Amino acid sequence: MTDLAWIDSALTSARPQAVAALLRYFRDLDMAEEAFQEACLRALKNWPEKGPPRDTVAWLIFVGRNIGIDQTRRAKKQTELPDEEALSDLEDHESDMAERLDNAHYRDDVLRLLFICCHPDLPATQQIAMALRIVSGLSVKEIARAFLVSEAAMEQRITRAKRAVAQAGHEFATPDAADRTERLGVVAAMIYLLFNEGYSATGGESHVRAPLCDEAIRLARLLLRLFPSEPEMMGLLALMLLQHARTAARLDPDGNIILLDDQDRSLWDRRAIDEGLVLIDKAFRHRRAGAYQVQAAIAAVHARAASPADTNWGEIDRLYAVLERLQPSPVITLNRAVAVSKVGGPEAALRLIEPLAQPLANYFHFHGLRGALLQQLGRGREAREAFDRAIALANTPAEAAHIRMHLDRLAAEDGATQRKQKTA
Amino acid sequence: VQYAILCYDREEIIEAWTKAEEDRVIGQHRAYASKLAQKGKLGPVLRLLPTSAAMTVRSGDQPLVVDGPFAETKEQLLGLWIVDTETPEEALEIAMVFSGHKGHGSLEVRPLREMVSLAAVA
């Protein structure tokens, strides 16, 4: 490997920890980022000549901190120095620093950095953009591309988000166990949103948005390394790995989504599946069920089935029942109805979704599933009404095409029945 | 004598590799490993899942299961090759070729006490 490629990977991987530590020292996001950037430039200059330091992260923090202090001293003449307390953490030496990197309180730095990006006043897309820019270190250009907006628009969005975050002020005290759990929950939600931004892409977008999935997985791994005993973090990573494993099988050459039942399972990524299965088993040993774990367990049932016919629908039904209790939502009940229809037949499933007619009145998948169930029960006229409603609500041409296929099948069945009646 | 060549590196740096980087290193490893295999010098090759998938049993009156790898070290054990060579120099040479593919991290060359039958695994 060329030294530069290695240094590049080293700097990328060091970024979350280094920026997080610098933020603790300087208590200013811009200052932390700039100091890290400067430190990276020095690394690119020094490391190829002298060889990389044994501890790259500690080196970057140490150098970044000195750069920050220098700049503060230089700025002293023009502006007032930040108050003493903000800079109180600047007295230790490199050996001390290296030791600190393994210290438990250090985990909280990274968590804090991610948590700051999740400021509740920011819309979800801005939270994700902030995390990609500050924590992952993606360029504005890369982020703009992934979000399908212009670079200028993304630059503006991130600047605005940073300003909102800077005004909010942050808690730099070490969080207690309850705070930590809450922060982890908020950060996990942001990471899963990031993953879905990439995963929901279809057509020509899928190519540019796939890196979002990789980045989400990398962040989840980072968090799990820092908090190795959090079953929901294991669940989140497992869930993303199991979904990501299907990537190669889930779009046809035109970029349309291929449904799970129709996917070529030999294209699934076995390595990602193995890791996901291990993680979910590991998480369940803690006996602290959570929504990510249960969703991952559902994905695991699919991953274990060699073909759609081998799917353990009873297990999926049970898992959805658990998920309904943990996180009641009509969409989850709707998903459960698919499993119920496979286990108990279309009539049972239809009974389950009848109460959802109101809350899901404008939800494409509700009418799609309802139509399919009615069709199975031979109630063609009602099925057609449901499918018509679904088509009107379809979000993508692929969704509409899928429903049209059902309608065609209905028409063919009608034709067959009429012919049968004529011959009779 | 048989040796285990244990590959240690910073896991998070490996994870930050681009796809091209990963393909290049793994491709070179595979090509060289298959050469060794043809000469009958290669035994099992194991690539380990990330340490986040690991669990550790701590011995004691009541053995304790903890999540994560055995030790929080800067470099992690990522995988290993078993090789069979005449001399320790030859084992070191093989390790140097593997290390040349990525240029960082360390490879520990460790003689095996119990011999693995190469024929049995081939």
**pLDDT tens figures, A118-144:** 988 888 888 999 999 999 999 999 899
Residue to test with chain B: of A13, A47, A236, A237, most B Cβ within 10 A: A13
In degrees, rounded to 5, the angle at the alpha carbon of residue A231 between the alpha carbons of residues A228 and A232 is 110
A-chain residues near B72 (CB < 8 A): 102
d(CA A369, CA A379): 14
Helices A330-344, A346-353: inter-axial angle, 10-degree rounding: 160
Cα-atom radius of gyration of chain A, to the nearest Å?
26
CB contact under 8 A, B104 and A1: yes
Number of cross-chain residue pairs from A and B with Cβ atoms under 8 Å apart: 70
Q: B40: helix, coil or strand?
A: coil
Residue bearing tokens 């390394």: A225
Q: Are A246 and B19 in contact (CB under 8 A)?
A: no
Residue bearing tokens 């740096």: B13
d(CA A259, CA A338): 13
Task: Please spell the DSSP secondary structure of A17-64, one letter per residue.
Answer: HHHHHHHHHH--HHHHHHHHHHHHHHHHHHHHHH---SSHHHHHHHHH
d(CA B97, CA A155): 45
d(CA A145, CA A404): 33
The token pair at A189 is: 């939600």
CB contact under 8 A, B17 and A228: no
CB contact under 8 A, B49 and A5: no
- What ipTM does the predicted assembly reach? 0.85
The token pair at A331 is: 């969409």
Q: Is the dihedral of CA A129, A132, A137, A142 positive or negative?
A: negative
B-chain residues near A272 (CB < 8 A): none
Residue bearing tokens 């300003």: A163
Q: Are A45 and A66 in contact (CB under 8 A)?
A: no
In DSSP terms, which residues pair with B107 in a beta bridge?
B7
A221 touches chain B (CB under 8 A): yes
Name which of A275, A246, A274 is nearest A260 in CA terms: A246
Q: Tell me how crowded residue B88 is: count the other CB atoms within 10 A of its CB.
A: 12
Alpha carbon A253 to its chain's center:
25
A77 touches chain B (CB under 8 A): no
Q: Which of B65, B68, B102 sits opposite A1 (nearest CB)?
A: B102
Q: A269: helix, coil or strand?
A: coil
The token pair at A339 is: 């499993």
In DSSP terms, which residues pair with B64 in a beta bridge?
B58
Ramachandran area for residue B65 (φ above 0: left; ψ -120 to 50: alpha; else beta): beta
- Phi and psi torsions of B106, nearest 5°: -135, 150
The token pair at B105 is: 């991290």
Amino acid at residue number A175: P
Alpha carbon A186 to its chain's center:
12
pLDDT tens, A265-314?
Answer: 999 999 999 999 999 999 999 999 999 999 999 999 999 999 999 999 99
Q: Mind listing the pLDDT tens digit of every residue in chain A (424 residues)?
A: 447 888 999 999 999 999 999 998 898 899 999 999 999 999 999 999 888 888 889 999 999 999 999 888 887 666 555 554 444 444 444 445 544 555 566 788 899 999 989 988 888 888 999 999 999 999 999 899 888 889 999 999 999 998 888 887 777 777 788 888 888 999 999 999 999 988 887 777 777 788 899 999 999 999 999 899 999 999 999 999 999 999 999 888 887 778 898 999 999 999 999 999 999 999 999 999 999 999 999 999 999 999 999 999 999 999 999 999 999 999 999 999 999 999 999 999 999 999 999 999 999 999 999 999 999 999 999 999 999 999 999 877 778 888 999 999 888 887 777 776 666 5
pLDDT tens, A349-374?
Answer: 999 999 999 999 999 999 999 999 99
What is the reported pTM? 0.87
- Phi and psi torsions of B2, nearest 5°: -95, 140
According to DSSP H, which parts of A88-176 are helical?
94-101, 104-117, 124-130, 140-146, 151-168
CB contact under 8 A, A1 and B10: no
The token pair at A389 is: 């409603």
d(CA B25, CA B99): 10
Q: Which of A55, A218, A278 sits opposite B53 (nearest CB)?
A: A278
Amino acid at residue number A301: V
Residue bearing tokens 């990328």: A12
According to DSSP H, which parts of A133-176 are helical?
140-146, 151-168
CB contact under 8 A, A225 and B17: no
